[in-house]
Amino acid sequence: MYSKTVMEHFTNPRNVGEIENADGIGEVGNVKCGDIMRMYLKIEDNTIKDVKFKTFGCGSAIASSSMATELIKGKTIDEAMNLTNKAVADALDGLPPIKMHCSVLAEQAIKAALLDYSKKNNIHIEGLEDIN
Ligand code: FES
Ligand code: FES
């Protein structure tokens, strides 16, 4: 049912934890299953210098958070904004259809953290107004 990559990221998730004095924190919950994901971003020079997550949820949500953090680390804000849940699922070599919403949580958590960052710094990030 699960790809090797999903299992690998579930059993050995990357970037678990919190960032003290994070520049942006995003927390999202999934109404369908009740799972919660929190993302912490350290941002410097428009670049995601560090990212950590805490996920109270299923294996797919943990694997999705782990992969999503790997995909945005070192990238620009715009690149992080463009990360879709499909890209996360693809990088995991696929998720079962009923588990696709777990990857949506990862995309939303990153956007929520970027929104928090933009509000704290009073800057505008293209594409965030619609989730505001
Ligand atoms: Fe139980 Fe997501 S539904 S962990
Ligand atoms: Fe809800 Fe995975 S089952 S996030």
Q: Decide if pLDDT at 93 tops 70.
A: yes
Examine residue 131 and state whether it is found in any structural domain, yes or no.
Answer: no
- C-alpha 43/C-alpha 46 separation (Å) is 6
Crossing angle of the two packed helices 4-11 and 59-72, in degrees rounded to 10: 90
Q: Which of 131, 115, 94 is nearest to 43 (CA)?
A: 115
Which CATH number does the domain housing residue 32 bear?
3.90.1010.10
Please provide the average confidence, as pLDDT, over all residues in the chain.
95
Q: Decide if pLDDT at 129 tops 90.
A: no
Examine residue 80 and state whether it is found in any structural domain, yes or no.
Answer: yes
Q: Which of 126, 103, 119 is nearest to 6 (CA)?
A: 103
Residues with CB under 6 A from ligand 1: 33, 35, 57-58
pLDDT-based confidence at residue 130 (cuts at 50, 70, 90): low
Tokens of 126: 């293209």
Residues 9-51 pLDDT 10s: 999 999 999 999 999 999 999 888 899 999 999 999 999 999 9
Examine residue 93 and state whether it is found in any structural domain, yes or no.
Answer: yes
33 as an active site residue: the answer is yes
Examine residue 88 and state whether it is found in any structural domain, yes or no.
Answer: yes
- ipTM tops 0.95: no
Count how many domains the chain has: 1
Q: What is residue 32's predicted lDDT score, i.e. its pLDDT? A: 80
Per the structure, the complete domain to which residue 107 belongs is given by: 4-125
pLDDT-based confidence at residue 131 (cuts at 50, 70, 90): low
Q: Which of 32, 35, 102 to mutate to test the pocket of ligand 1 (most atoms within 8 A of CB)?
A: 35
